[in-house]
Amino acid sequence: MKSSMAVRKVVNYGFLVIQHGSDVQPSKGHPSGGVAIILSPDARKAWIAAGSSVSHFGNRILAIKLELLDANQKPITVVLVSAYALIGAAKENISQEFATE
């Protein structure tokens, strides 16, 4: 069964947490299969300036763009990527699913 995926955004004390992962979590054990990027208030402004887009590839890779100014005040785009690789003890079917995402 393939789980559904969701992107969640939470603001706390001006910091933005962008989370991406499975909506379905195991009934026992710890949650798994998700990634996040935490942005400071200034980084949050740069993310908004870049269009507030969130890209995801499967439930273990998340990417965002920031629009910043270089030393000469010229705009530059920085792409931040957060990825979570499987551990060696992962079940074979989960490893295969990860490899094909």
What is the block-wise mean pLDDT of the chain (101 residues), using blocks of 10 residues? Answer: 55 86 65 81 95 87 94 96 78 69 64
pTM here is 0.72
User: What pLDDT sits at residue 75?
Assistant: 95
d(CA 95, CA 85): 10
Number of domains in the chain: 1
**pLDDT for the residue numbered 12:** 80
Domain extent at residue 52: 5-100
Strand ranges inside 1-60, DSSP E: 5-12, 15-22, 34-39, 54-56
Cβ–Cβ < 8 Å for 48, 54:
no
* Alpha-carbon span 2 to 57, nearest angstrom: 14
The pLDDT value given to residue 34 = 79
